[in-house]
Structure 1
Amino acid sequence: MDDSQLIEMFSSLKNEITKQSARTEILFEEIKKDIKVFGDGLDVTNRNIEEIKNENKSINNRLERIEEKVLFHDKKISKFG
């Protein structure tokens, strides 16, 4: 192999590496976008979970108040029954 063939092979290899590097960069940017979308989705999911927890707390508080009223009325009824 002479020098011109080596230079041509090196140049071709360099061009291919440059193309692959550009493709890798594009893929990396796409992955970053996907991760952001996934992260945003997790944020929404976490907010929904917190809302559900708060709703459950509210429901539990209401159930406790109802239970207290039922117990109070049961005591009243048992006094007269």
Structure 2
Amino acid sequence: MQKIGILIIDDHPTVRLGLEAILNHFEDIEVLATAEDGESGIKCCRTVNPAVVLVDIYMTGMDGIATIAMLKQELPHDPSR
């Protein structure tokens, strides 16, 4: 069974670590990477190619809404995943 790859983008280290710890308890989920802001999250997404991206809406710098818009523009959804 292929695991569901997840990228977590959040500017709070405690939230990133907490979500990663919770998600790692599921056998069919793999946290591929975490990022502390939108720009580094977009770079990570290009590299690790996750099936799911969890994004904090309220971040300093590029907020979550702008991050999602950039991800949709640069990395279109692949419905076969």
TM > 0.5 fold call: no
TM range (shorter): under 0.3
TM-score normalised by length of structure 1: 0.20
> Larger % of helix: which?
1
Higher Cα Rg, which structure: 1
